[in-house]
C-alpha cells in the first residue's frame, strides 16, 4: 500500500503529464511514478487554452490546501504562465466543506485553555465562511464585544508540511536535472511559497498585520481595518473585531449612487501606494471580495493573511518605473525592467525594448483610462516572453495594483488611477530623498571610519610605490583556467607533431633495404607506422572525451548561476 508521500508524488507527476510538462518528469528521471493518464495538454507545452486552464485550477483545488495556495501564488507569476492560466488561478475558490462544530470547539478550548462558555457569551455554531486552512465563526465576548473567530482546521499543518516535503524534493530534482528547472528556478519559487504559507498558518502573524495596516491607514478616516483581540489570539486561533457591511461586489450601480465613493477611492489608492512604495509593505490580496462597505460609509479592509515585504531596492525601482510609465517613456521603462530582472537564456534586449515601448505608448494613449495594474501585469508577461525573469515582488505588486484597479473602478468608474499615481508617486519619490536620522548616523559612522583609515592607507600606497613594490591586480579573467587551457593545447600540439614525425620517419625508412620484412615491406618501418596509427587514434579519443566533459561542466555551471 503506497504511503501518503508516494501518493502525492503520483498526483504531481499525473498533473505534469496532463498539462504538457512530461519533459520535467522524464528529465528529472521520475518515470517510476509514471501513470498512463493522457490529458488535454499531454506532450505539448502549457498552452493558453482557457478550458484547459480552468481544468488545471480545478485539479489544484481538488488536491487540497497546499495546492490551492500554490495556485494563488502562481496566479501572480505572469512571466511564467499564459494569461488564461493566471486568470483561472486568480479565481480559485478557497471554499470547502465546513468542519463539524465539535472539532471547532476542541480547537478553541484547547487554544484558550477554557471552555467556550467561559470565554464567550455567544458562539455561532454555523460558520460565516469555510476555507481550506480555517473557518470563521461569529461570536460575542463576555463583555459584549462582538467579534469573529477564525479557527484553524485540525491536521492542516501536518498536511501542508508533508506536501511541502514532496514539493521541495521534486523542485530540487527538476532544477538540477532539467533545462526548464535551470531556466525558471522552481526552488526559488517554492521558497517564496513556503514563506507565504508559513505566514498564513500562524494567526499571530496575521494579527500583527492587522495592527500594522491599521497604523498605516490611521490618517484615512474613510478606511477601517478590524483589530485583533490579542488575549484570544494564538497561532491557531484569531479573534478580531466584527465588521458589519456589504461586499462591494454585492453592491450594484444603483446602490453606489447613494454613496460618496470618490473620497473612499482616493484614500484607498493613496494608502496602498504609500504602503508599497514608502513603507515597503504589500497587502497581496486586496481584491473586491475582501472590501466591505460599512453602514457609516467607510471601507473595511479584510484578510491580511497574505502579505509581503518590498525591499528598498525594489521600492526605488518601482517608483522610477511608475514615473516612466506615466511619462510614456517606453525605453526608460525597458531599461528599469532590465535592471530589476535576471536575464535567462534567450533574452533579446532589443526585441524586449521595442515591445515595451509599444506597450507603454498604447497604454498612455488611453489617457485617463490608463490602469497601471494592467500595465505592470503586461510588462511582467513581456519579461517572461523575452527571457527576463522579474523579481517576485514585481509580479505581486502588479497583481495587487490590478485588484486595486478593479475595486476602484467598481466603486467609482470615473476615477483616473494614472493621475492619482502621478500626484502621489512624485511626493513619495521626494520623501525617499530625505535623509532619516538613522541614515545620517550610519553615514556619519562610515565617514568617520573612512577619515580615520585614509592617512594610514595612503602612506602604505606611497611607500609601496617608492619601493617599487606597488602592484595592481585586476581579476578580469580566470588565470588558472587560461593556464590549463594553454597547457592542454600545447600538449595536443606536441603529441600531434610527434605522431607526424613518426609517420614521416617510417615513410623514409621504407626505402632502406632490410632483411626483416612484414608484408613485403621493411619490418621496422611497418612497426613505426602502426605505433603512429595507434597514437593518432588514442589522441583523437582523448580529445573528444575531455572536450565533452568540459562542455558538460560549463553547462552545469551556467545552469547553477541561472
**Which secondary-structure segment (H or E) carries 223?**
strand 223-224
CA dihedral of residues 304, 310, 311, 313 (deg, nearest 10): -170
pLDDT reading at 507 higher than 90: no
The better pLDDT of the pair 228, 296 is held by 228
Which pLDDT score is estimated for 25?
43
* Joined grid coordinates for residue 449: 571610519
Q: pTM, whole model, 2 decimals?
A: 0.68
The better pLDDT of the pair 114, 90 is held by 114
The better pLDDT of the pair 223, 68 is held by 223
User: Of the given ranges (166-180, 236-250, 253-267, 393-407), which has the lowest mean pLDDT?
Assistant: 166-180
Q: Which residues of 227-255 are buried (b: 16+ CB within 10 A; e: fewer)?
A: ebbeebbbebbbbbbbbebeebeebeeee
* Joined grid coordinates for residue 76: 501572480
Coil, helix or strand for 97?
Answer: coil
Which pLDDT score is estimated for 63?
83
Report the C-alpha gap between 37 and 185 in whole angstroms: 27
Mean pLDDT is highest, among 146-160, 339-353, 485-499, for 146-160
Instruction: Classify the C-alpha dihedral 142-145-146-151 as positive or negative.
Output: negative
Which pLDDT score is estimated for 555?
55
CA end-to-end distance (rounded Å), the chain: 40
Residue 320 contacts residue 351 (beta carbons within 8 Å): no
**DSSP letter (8 states) at residue 274:** H
Radius of gyration, alpha carbons of the chain: 33
The length of the chain is 562
Other C-beta atoms lying within 10 Å of the C-beta of residue 394: 25
Confidence band for 86, pLDDT divided at 50, 70 and 90: confident
Residue 386 contacts residue 355 (beta carbons within 8 Å): yes
Residue 538 CA: distances (Å) to CA of 268, 492, 493, 499, 545: 75, 11, 14, 11, 11
pLDDT reading at 293 higher than 50: yes
**Which secondary-structure segment (H or E) carries 553?**
helix 523-561
pLDDT reading at 350 higher than 70: yes
Contacts of 101 (CB under 8 A, 6+ apart): 125
Mean pLDDT is highest, among 72-76, 103-107, 157-161, 479-483, for 103-107
Backbone angles phi, psi at 527, to 5 degrees: -60, -45
Which pLDDT score is estimated for 550?
65
Residue 412 contacts residue 257 (beta carbons within 8 Å): no
Which pLDDT score is estimated for 28?
40
Confidence band for 198, pLDDT divided at 50, 70 and 90: confident
Report the C-alpha gap between 436 and 473 in whole angstroms: 38
Amino acid at each position: 500500500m503506497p504511503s501518503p508521500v508516494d501518493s502525492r508524488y503520483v498526483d504531481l507527476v499525473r498533473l505534469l503529464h496532463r498539462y504538457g510538462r512530461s519533459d520535467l518528469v522524464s528529465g528529472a528521471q521520475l518515470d517510476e511514478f509514471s501513470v498512463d493518464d493522457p490529458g488535454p495538454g499531454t506532450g505539448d507545452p502549457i498552452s493558453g487554452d482557457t478550458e484547459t486552464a480552468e481544468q488545471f485550477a480545478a485539479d489544484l483545488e481538488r488536491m487540497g490546501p497546499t495546492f490551492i495556495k500554490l495556485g494563488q501564488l502562481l496566479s501572480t507569476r505572469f512571466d511564467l504562465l499564459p494569461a488564461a492560466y493566471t486568470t483561472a488561478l486568480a479565481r480559485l475558490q478557497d471554499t470547502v466543506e465546513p468542519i463539524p462544530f465539535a472539532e471547532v470547539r476542541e480547537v478553541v478550548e484547547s487554544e484558550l485553555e477554557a471552555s467556550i462558555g467561559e470565554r464567550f457569551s455567544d458562539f455561532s455554531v454555523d460558520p460565516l465562511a469555510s476555507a481550506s486552512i480555517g473557518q470563521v465563526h461569529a461570536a460575542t465576548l463576555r463583555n459584549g464585544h462582538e467579534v469573529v473567530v477564525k479557527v484553524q482546521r485540525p491536521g492542516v499543518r501536518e498536511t501542508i508540511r508533508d506536501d511541502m516535503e514532496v514539493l521541495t524534493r521534486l523542485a530540487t530534482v527538476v532544477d538540477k536535472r532539467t533545462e526548464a528547472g535551470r531556466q525558471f528556478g522552481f526552488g526559488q519559487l517554492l521558497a517564496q511559497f513556503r514563506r507565504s504559507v508559513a505566514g498564513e498558518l500562524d494567526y499571530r502573524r496575521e494579527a500583527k498585520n492587522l495592527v500594522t495596516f491599521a497604523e498605516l491607514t490611521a490618517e484615512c478616516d474613510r478606511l477601517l481595518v478590524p483589530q485583533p483581540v490579542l488575549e484570544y489570539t494564538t497561532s491557531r486561533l484569531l479573534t478580531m473585531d466584527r465588521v458589519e457591511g456589504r461586499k462591494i461586489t454585492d453592491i450594484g450601480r444603483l446602490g453606489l449612487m447613494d454613496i460618496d465613493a470618490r473620497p473612499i477611492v482616493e484614500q484607498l489608492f493613496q494608502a496602498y501606494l504609500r504602503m508599497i512604495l514608502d513603507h515597503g509593505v504589500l497587502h497581496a490580496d486586496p481584491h473586491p471580495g475582501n472590501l466591505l462597505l460599512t453602514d457609516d460609509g467607510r471601507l473595511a479592509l479584510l484578510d491580511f493573511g497574505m502579505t509581503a515585504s518590498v525591499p528598498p531596492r525594489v521600492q526605488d525601482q518601482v517608483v522610477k518605473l511608475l514615473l516612466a510609465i506615466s511619462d510614456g517613456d517606453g525605453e526608460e521603462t525597458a531599461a528599469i525592467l532590465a535592471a530589476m530582472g535576471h536575464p535567462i537564456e534567450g533574452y533579446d534586449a532589443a526585441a524586449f525594448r521595442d515591445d515595451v515601448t509599444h506597450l507603454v505608448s498604447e497604454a498612455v494613449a488611453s489617457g485617463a483610462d490608463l490602469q497601471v495594474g494592467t500595465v505592470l501585469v503586461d510588462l511582467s508577461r513581456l519579461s517572461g516572453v523575452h527571457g527576463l525573469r522579474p523579481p517576485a515582488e514585481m509580479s505581486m505588486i502588479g497583481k495587487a495594483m490590478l485588484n486595486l484597479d478593479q475595486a476602484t473602478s467598481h466603486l467609482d468608474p470615473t476615477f483616473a488611477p494614472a493621475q492619482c499615481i502621478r500626484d502621489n508617486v512624485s511626493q513619495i519619490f521626494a520623501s525617499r530623498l530625505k535623509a532619516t536620522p538613522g541614515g545620517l548616523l550610519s553615514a556619519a559612522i562610515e565617514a568617520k571610519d573612512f577619515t580615520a583609515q585614509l592617512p594610514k592607507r595612503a602612506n602604505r600606497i606611497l611607500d609601496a610605490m617608492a619601493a617599487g613594490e606597488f602592484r595592481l591586480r585586476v581579476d578580469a579573467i580566470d588565470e588558472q583556467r587560461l593556464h590549463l587551457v594553454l597547457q592542454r593545447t600545447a600538449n595536443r600540439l606536441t603529441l600531434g607533431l610527434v605522431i607526424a614525425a613518426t609517420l614521416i620517419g617510417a615513410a623514409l625508412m621504407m626505402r632502406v633495404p632490410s632483411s626483416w620484412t612484414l608484408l613485403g615491406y621493411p619490418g621496422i618501418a611497418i612497426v613505426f607506422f602502426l605505433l603512429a596509427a595507434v597514437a593518432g587514434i588514442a589522441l583523437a579519443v582523448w580529445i573528444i572525451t575531455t572536450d565533452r566533459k568540459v562542455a558538460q561542466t560549463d553547462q552545469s555551471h551556467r545552469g547553477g548561476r541561472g
